[in-house]
Amino acid sequence: MRDNPKILTGEEKPNYNECIEVSTKASLKMMVAPGLLVILTPLIIGFLFGPRAVAGILPGALVSGV
């Protein structure tokens, strides 16, 4: 609004595409850490504690997700 005062008077419409682009980029950036957590947790648990630990953690994660 500061860049274009005509928006407040109704002479021009706001640039909605820019707003959508900014929020989409920010949301994708914020989803990197949860995505890595989901992918790396079973791998790390499997390498450290073995397949039985992975067999225990995956149902627990599913139940807590539901």
> Which is higher by pLDDT, 33 or 66?
33
> Which is higher by pLDDT, 6 or 23?
23
Q: Quick one: what percent of the chain has pLDDT higher than 90?
A: 61
The stretch 24-49 carries a mean pLDDT of 94
Tell if the pTM clears 0.75, that is, is over it.
Answer: no
Which tens digit of pLDDT belongs to each residue from 44-63? Answer: 999 999 999 999 999 988 89
Distance CA(50)–CA(41), nearest Å, equals 12
Burial 12-45 (b: 16+ CB within 10 A, else e): eeeeeeeeeeeeeeeeeeeeeeeeeeeeeeeeeb
Return the amino acid letter for 22: V
Positive/negative CA dihedral, 50, 53, 59, 61: negative
